[in-house]
Structures are given as structure tokens and as C-alpha cells.
């Protein structure tokens, strides 16, 4: 029975040991996974803050830098700022760097000329930074996706391990319960057989008490395992929460970086468009200025030619006008003399004509009076004709009456009427006869008066014709007396008069032509004056435009000179800063060489010391120093570029020094080389990310870390002022 109990106890102990080992292994793996997650998140945060690996410094198998656990802890100890602030600082610095480079490029393009090789090298470096940044963004997106998938897979593995641990815990609880029941049954059996086995009771009690104590120990161990499992599940939840936070931060950083890249590209395109527009405007203004200068020169030449031709024409016209005026004055004097003589002759002939016109008006008045008398005679003759007509009508009626009397007896009744009518007609006839006699008398008188008037008219016509003949004769006599009949003149007089008339007509024609020429000359002079005034106005406007262009060109030259001076000063500053950087680079190269030699010596020394030393080394997480070291122990350390040699421990308790194996020395070498390469290539953000790792590698205190950070900030400020 005791043998069975012992075998069962050994089995239970082995089972509990296996369970404890499994739980310990699970907790260790969980801790390792959490540590790896933290390290991966630290590495990914460094990668999202534009940690750009240099192709010249990294090989194909190096990959991205991952800080160990202690260095990641140091990163949070030394610098409590959020990683988001670091990313924003990096993006702002990158944006300012690209903007300053674009402004310098614009200034150099405006200055023109060949660019300096140093400036071209800086521009090429900036372009390379842009290209590398874009490539790094793509790589980080892909790397983050794979990391997220890997973390999800690890979370699934942890959940399966937790389920297996819970099952093992349940199995252990069932085994402990069965063991307790068996112990109780064995204890009951020993109580019933106590009368026969008095000596065995004590031993059974002892064994039962020992088994109970062992069961209680197992229960305590199970409780501890349960608490450890709960802690592991809590750690898993915390890790999942941190993973979710890291995912959110990664997405935010990725979106912010993409937004910044888009904004920088938009600003670059806008700046390029503004530069192109400014260049096009400048070329247009220069072309317009050249065209205005050419037009101004042509206007000046035209104005000078017009003034010269106008002066020539004025001089020629003045000479011609003087000669023509002299000729015209002589001819005008001759014409005035001839016109005076002709005017005297014309006045005498006009007086004779007025006298003849007066006589003609008198004869015309007499003829008018005779015509009035003739019209009166004609009216009297018309009245006589009327009376004759009326008399003929009366005679016709009388004959009709007589014919009626001679008609048949039927007309007797009408005879009396006709008699009465005849009496009346006779009376009327007597009256008409009287009237006819009177009319005849008046007609005779009228005919006599008409004949007299006709005679008088004939006499007046004869007199008028005689008067006209007398007038014509008088005029002919006067004109003959005045010399109008040139046929009667002597030949010399006729020739002289014809010559004078020809000269007079020629003078009139010349006078008219001179007047026309004078009018043409005046119009030409007016046009020339208008052209000269317009040319003067154009010349004034062109001179004003030329002055404006000269002022603008002077201002532009002054601005260009100022820009050139500023550019030369900047180039001098660039060269001075470049010289300082080259000196610093040489110094850093020398320091790196010395550090490499010291690292090699230290590696050989550490390797030998590790062979003789104990187990003091790096912790499980891959930190540089042991997890037992504290911040209070590190406050007494000083900043040194080399790791502490064996036996140089500052621990007050007399502990042995922490030794480094070749893997740690390789890590030290990688960190130093990466930091030096980033510093030489001016990768500021990578230097800031590697600085805590470097301080952790060098075992620097917080004060020493801040001093190292200040030195790095000053050197970066110097490099940033040069760029």
C-alpha cells in the first residue's frame, strides 16, 4: 500500500513538475513574445520616423536596426516625449529642408550662370533624400503589414497556449482531487483496522499527514500557477491593447506621412508653376523693353529725318517764295497800271450807256401808253360786235313774226297777241334801233379812235426803231471813237494790245497757279507741323517709357546685385560650413577608426575575460547590461566610448563586472557605425533615434545622455544653418 502510495506520489510529483515546467515554458515564451513585440514596435516606430538605412553602410543581410529590451527601456527612461512628437519634428524638418532647398534653387536660377559643383552635390543629395523617402514609405507600409500579420499569428499562438495551460490546470485539479479522495479512503481503512494494527496507526497517521501537507503544497502550487496564468492572460490583454494602440499609431503616422508627402508635392508643383510664370513674365517684359527701345530708336530716326526734310523744304520754299513774290510784285504793278487805264475807259463807256438807258426807258413809257389806248379800242370793237349780234337776232325774230302773220287763219287768234307783241317788239326795235344808232356812233368813234391809236402806235414804233437805231449808231460811234473797232486800229497798236492782253492772261494764270501752290505749301506745312507735333509727342512718350524702363532695369539690376551678393555670401558660408563639416568628418573618421581599434582590443579582452569569468552578461531580452543593475548604480558611471573592462565595476556591494560576449561587441560596433554614418550623412532623425541606443550601449547616466544630446543638437544646428 505504501509502495503504491509512493509510486502514485512520484507520478503526481512528476506530473506537477511537468505541469510547472510547461507553465514556466509558456510564461517564458509569453514574456519573450511580449519583449519581441515591444522591440518590434520600437523598431517600427523608429522606422516610421524616417529611419532610413544607408545602402553603403548596410548589407543585404543586416536589415533594419532593432533595439534590445534594455535599450528600449532606456529610450523611455531618458526621453519621455511621445514618438508622435518625434515624427512631427522629423516631418517638419524634412519639409523645411526641402523648402529651403527649393528657394535656394529658385534664387540660383534667377541669378543664372553655371551652378557650383558643391551646390549641385547638395541638390543631388536632396533629390536622393526625396527618392529614398518615397521608397522607404513604400517599404515601411509593406513591412508594417507583414509585422501586423505576424503579431496576429503570435496572438493566435498565445491564445492556443493559454487554452492548453487551462486544460493542464484542470487536469492537475482533477488529479489533486482524486489524490485527496484516495488519501481519505486510505485514512478510513486504517481507522477500521486500528485495533489490529496499533503500531501501524502511527505510521499511517504520519503518512496521511505528510500526504495532506503535500496536497496542500500542491494546492498552493496550483493556486500560484493559476495566478501566474491569470497574470499571463492579463499580460496578453495588455499586449493586445498595446498592439491595437501601435496599429492605430502606425496608421495615423502613415496617413500623416502620406498627407505631408502630398502637401509637399503640391507645394513643389505650385512653386515650380510660380517660378515658370515669373520667368515667362520676365522674358516678356525683357522682350517688350527691347521692342520699345527699337521703336524708340526708329521714332527718333524718323523724327530726325522728318525734321531734316522739313527744314530743307522750308529753305527751298523760302527761296522760291522770295523769287515768286518779287516776280508777282512786278507783274502786279504792271497789271495795276493797265487796269487803271482800262478802268478810266470803262467808266466813260458806262456813263454813255446810262444816258442811252434813260432815253430807252422814256420811249418804253410812251409805247406803254399807246398799248393801253389800243386795248381800249379793242374793247369798244368787241362791244360793237355784241350789238351787231343782238340786232341780227332781233331781225330774225321779226322775220319769224312776219312768217307767222302770213300763216293760215288758225293763227288769227294769235295775231292779236302777236300784234301786241309786235308793238312791244317795235318799241323794243325802236329802242334797239336807237341803241344800234348809238352803238354805231360809238363804234364809228371807236373805229376812228382805234385808227388814230394804230397810227399813233405805228408812229411810236417808228420812233422806237429810230431811237434804237440812233442808240446803236451812237454806241457804235462812241465805241469807234473809243477804239473798240480794232480793225480800224493801227497794226502796232493791235499787236501791243494783244501782247498786253496775253501778258495779262498769263499773269492771271501765274497768279492763280501761285495761289494754288501757296495753298498746297500751306497745307503741306500744316501737315508737316502736325507730323512733327505727333512725332514729338511719340518721342516724349517713348522717352517717358524709356525712362520707366531704365528705372525698372536699374531697380532690377540693384535687386539682382543684392541677390548676387546674398548668394555669394551664402556660397561663402556654404564653403566655410563645408570646410568645417569636412574637418568634422575627418575627425569623426579618425574617431571611428580609433573606436574600431579599441573595440577590437576590447573584444579580444572581453573574450579572454569571459572565458575566466562567471555568468555575468546580457539579459534575456538582449540588453547591454544585466537586469539587476539599477539607475542608482549607473549614476556613478561616466560617459566613455569604450565598454568597461573586466574588474572595473562600480557596484558598492562588490559584485562582479558585467562582461560582454562577441555578440554584444558586434551590437556595439553596429550601433556606433550606424550612428557615425547617420551623423556624417546628416540623417538627423536617424541620429536622434540611435542616440538613446548609443547611450545605452555606452552605459551613460541621464546627465551624460543629456550632454550627449546637447552636443548632437549643436552639431545639427550647425549643419542645418549651412543647408
Residue 435 lies in a domain: yes
What mean pLDDT is predicted for residues 284-292? 71
pLDDT of amino acid 556: 78
C-alpha cell at 360: 430807252
C-alpha cell at 645: 573592462
Of residues 159 and 723, the one with the higher pLDDT is 159
Is-contact 190 206, C-beta < 8 A? Answer: no
Residue 522 lies in a domain: no
Q: What is the rounded CA–CA span in Å between residue 696 and residue 667?
A: 11
Residue 384 lies in a domain: yes
Is-contact 42 249, C-beta < 8 A? Answer: no
Q: What is the rounded CA–CA span in Å between residue 312 and residue 333?
A: 32
pLDDT in tens, 679-712: 777 788 888 888 888 777 777 788 888 888 888 7
Which range, 2-16, 203-217, 364-378, 669-683, has the best average confidence (pLDDT)? 669-683
C-alpha cell at 141: 507600409
Does residue 659 have a pLDDT over 50?
Answer: no
C-alpha cell at 306: 522728318
What mean pLDDT is predicted for residues 416-429? 69
Confidence of residue 212 (pLDDT cuts 50, 70, 90): low
What mean pLDDT is predicted for residues 549-578? 75
Report pTM: 0.19
C-alpha cell at 315: 529753305
Is-contact 108 119, C-beta < 8 A? Answer: yes
Is-contact 686 50, C-beta < 8 A? Answer: yes
Is-contact 639 698, C-beta < 8 A? Answer: yes
- What percent of the chain clears pLDDT 90, i.e. is strictly above it? 0
Is-contact 180 251, C-beta < 8 A? Answer: no
Residue 667 lies in a domain: no
DSSP string for 98-135: HHHHHHHHHHHHHH-SPPPHHHHHHHHHHHHHHHHHHH
pLDDT of amino acid 86: 65
Confidence of residue 420 (pLDDT cuts 50, 70, 90): confident
Is-contact 702 77, C-beta < 8 A? Answer: yes
- Nearest CA among 41, 109, 99 for reference residue 69: 41
First to last CA, the chain: 89
Q: Is the dihedral of CA 270, 273, 275, 281 positive or negative?
A: negative
Is-contact 689 46, C-beta < 8 A? Answer: yes
Residue 326 lies in a domain: yes
- Tally of domains in the chain: 1
Q: What is the rounded CA–CA span in Å between residue 700 and residue 692?
A: 9
pLDDT in tens, 346-372: 666 666 666 666 666 666 666 666 666
Q: Which of 406-415, 497-506, 662-671 has the lowest mean pLDDT?
A: 406-415
pLDDT of amino acid 555: 83
pLDDT of amino acid 48: 44
Domain that residue 480 falls in: 301-496
Residue 26 lies in a domain: no
Confidence of residue 455 (pLDDT cuts 50, 70, 90): confident
In Å, how far from its chain's centre is CA 27?
66
At a CB cut-off of 8 Å and minimum separation 6, what does 378 contact?
450
- Nearest CA among 686, 508, 641 for reference residue 51: 686
- Nearest CA among 328, 376, 306, 704 for reference residue 515: 328
pLDDT of amino acid 639: 35
pLDDT in tens, 542-562: 778 778 877 877 887 788 778
Does residue 593 have a pLDDT over 50?
Answer: yes
Does residue 407 have a pLDDT over 60?
Answer: no
Residue 115 lies in a domain: no
Does residue 54 have a pLDDT over 60?
Answer: no
Residue 418 lies in a domain: yes
Q: Which of 271-275, 375-379, 620-624 has the lowest mean pLDDT?
A: 620-624
pLDDT of amino acid 310: 67
C-alpha cell at 456: 399813233
Grid look-up 487536469 returns 171
Is-contact 370 457, C-beta < 8 A? Answer: yes
Confidence of residue 676 (pLDDT cuts 50, 70, 90): confident
pLDDT of amino acid 482: 52
Q: What is the phi-psi region of residue 363: left when phi exceeds 0, alpha when psi lies from -120 to 50, beta otherwise?
A: alpha
Q: Which of 214-228, 488-502, 594-608, 630-644 has the lowest mean pLDDT?
A: 630-644
Q: Is the dihedral of CA 284, 290, 291, 293 positive or negative?
A: positive
DSSP string for 345-403: HHHHHHHHHHHHHHHHHHHHHHHHHHHHHHHHHHHHHHHHHHHHHHHHHHHHHHHHHHH
Average pLDDT score, the chain: 66
Amino acid at each position: 500500500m505504501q509502495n503504491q502510495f509512493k509510486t502514485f506520489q512520484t507520478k503526481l510529483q512528476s506530473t506537477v513538475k511537468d505541469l510547472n515546467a510547461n507553465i514556466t515554458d509558456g510564461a517564458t515564451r509569453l514574456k519573450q513574445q511580449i519583449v519581441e513585440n515591444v522591440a518590434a514596435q520600437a523598431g517600427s516606430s523608429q522606422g516610421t520616423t524616417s529611419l532610413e538605412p544607408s545602402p553603403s553602410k548596410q548589407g543585404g543581410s543586416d536589415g533594419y536596426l532593432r533595439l534590445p529590451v534594455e535599450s528600449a527601456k532606456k529610450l523611455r527612461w531618458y526621453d519621455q516625449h511621445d514618438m508622435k512628437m518625434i515624427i512631427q519634428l522629423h516631418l517638419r524638418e524634412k519639409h523645411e529642408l526641402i523648402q529651403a532647398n527649393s528657394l535656394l534653387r529658385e534664387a540660383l536660377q534667377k541669378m543664372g550662370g553655371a551652378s557650383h559643383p558643391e551646390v549641385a552635390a547638395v541638390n543631388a543629395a536632396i533629390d536622393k533624400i526625396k527618392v529614398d523617402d518615397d521608397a522607404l514609405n513604400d517599404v515601411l507600409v509593406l513591412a508594417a503589414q507583414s509585422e501586423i500579420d505576424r503579431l496576429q499569428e503570435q496572438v493566435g499562438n498565445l491564445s492556443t497556449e493559454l487554452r492548453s495551460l487551462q486544460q493542464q490546470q484542470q487536469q492537475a485539479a482533477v488529479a489533486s482531487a482524486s489524490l485527496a479522495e484516495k488519501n481519505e479512503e486510505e485514512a478510513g481503512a486504517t481507522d477500521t483496522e486500528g485495533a489490529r494494527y496499533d503500531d501501524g496507526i502511527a505510521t499511517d497517521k504520519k503518512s496521511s499527514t505528510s500526504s495532506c501537507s503535500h496536497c496542500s503544497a500542491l494546492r498552493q502550487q496550483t493556486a500560484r500557477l493559476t495566478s501566474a496564468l491569470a497574470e499571463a492572460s492579463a499580460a496578453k490583454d495588455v499586449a493586445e491593447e498595446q498592439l491595437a494602440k501601435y496599429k492605430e499609431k502606425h496608421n495615423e503616422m502613415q496617413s500623416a506621412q502620406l498627407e505631408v508627402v502630398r502637401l509637399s508635392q503640391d507645394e513643389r508643383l505650385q512653386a515650380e508653376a510660380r517660378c515658370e510664370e515669373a520667368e515667362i513674365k520676365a522674358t516678356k517684359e525683357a522682350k517688350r523693353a527691347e521692342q520699345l527701345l527699337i521703336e524708340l530708336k526708329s521714332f527718333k530716326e524718323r523724327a530726325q529725318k522728318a525734321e531734316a526734310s522739313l527744314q530743307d523744304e522750308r529753305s527751298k520754299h523760302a527761296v522760291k517764295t522770295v523769287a515768286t513774290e518779287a516776280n508777282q510784285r512786278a507783274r502786279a504793278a504792271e497789271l495795276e497800271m493797265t487796269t487803271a487805264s482800262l478802268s478810266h475807259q470803262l467808266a466813260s463807256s458806262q456813263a454813255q450807256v446810262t444816258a442811252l438807258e434813260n432815253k430807252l426807258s422814256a420811249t418804253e413809257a410812251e409805247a406803254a401808253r399807246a398799248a393801253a389806248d389800243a386795248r381800249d379800242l379793242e374793247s369798244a370793237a368787241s362791244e360793237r360786235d355784241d350789238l351787231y349780234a343782238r340786232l341780227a337776232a332781233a331781225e330774225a325774230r321779226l322775220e319769224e313774226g312776219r312768217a307767222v302773220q302770213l300763216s293760215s287763219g288758225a293763227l288769227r287768234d294769235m295775231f292779236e297777241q302777236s300784234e301786241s307783241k309786235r308793238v312791244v317788239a317795235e318799241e323794243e326795235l325802236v329802242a334797239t334801233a336807237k341803241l344800234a344808232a348809238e352803238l354805231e356812233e360809238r363804234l364809228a368813234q371807236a373805229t376812228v379812235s382805234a385808227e388814230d391809236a394804230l397810227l399813233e402806235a405805228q408812229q411810236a414804233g417808228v420812233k422806237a426803231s429810230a431811237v434804237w437805231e440812233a442808240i446803236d449808231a451812237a454806241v457804235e460811234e462812241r465805241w469807234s471813237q473809243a477804239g473798240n473797232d480794232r480793225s480800224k486800229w493801227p497794226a502796232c497798236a493791235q499787236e501791243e494790245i494783244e501782247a498786253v492782253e496775253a501778258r495779262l492772261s498769263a499773269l492771271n494764270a501765274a497768279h492763280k497757279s501761285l495761289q494754288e501752290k501757296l495753298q498746297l505749301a500751306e497745307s503741306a506745312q500744316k501737315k508737316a507741323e502736325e507730323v512733327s507735333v505727333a512725332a514729338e509727342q511719340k518721342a516724349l512718350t517713348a522717352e517717358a517709357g524709356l525712362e520707366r524702363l531704365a528705372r525698372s532695369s536699374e531697380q532690377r539690376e540693384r535687386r539682382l546685385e543684392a541677390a548676387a551678393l546674398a548668394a555669394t555670401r551664402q556660397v561663402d558660408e556654404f564653403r566655410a560650413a563645408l570646410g568645417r563639416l569636412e574637418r568634422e568628418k575627418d575627425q569623426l573618421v579618425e574617431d571611428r577608426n580609433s573606436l574600431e581599434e579599441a573595440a577590437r582590443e576590447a573584444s579580444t579582452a572581453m573574450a579572454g575575460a569571459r572565458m575566466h569569468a562567471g555568468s555575468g552578461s546580457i539579459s534575456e531580452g538582449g540588453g547591454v547590461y544585466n537586469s539587476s543593475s539599477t539607475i542608482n548604480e549607473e549614476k556613478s558611471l561616466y560617459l566613455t566610448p569604450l565598454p568597461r573592462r573586466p574588474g572595473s565595476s562600480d557596484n558598492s556591494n562588490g559584485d562582479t563586472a558585467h562582461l560582454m560576449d562577441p555578440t554584444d561587441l558586434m551590437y556595439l560596433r553596429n550601433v556606433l557605425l550606424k550612428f557615425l554614418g547617420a551623423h556624417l550623412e546628416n540623417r538627423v532623425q536617424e541620429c536622434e533615434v540611435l542616440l538613446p541606443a548609443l547611450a545605452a550601449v555606452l552605459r551613460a547616466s541621464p546627465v551624460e545622455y543629456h550632454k550627449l544630446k546637447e552636443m548632437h543638437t549643436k552639431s545639427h544646428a550647425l549643419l542645418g544653418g549651412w543647408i
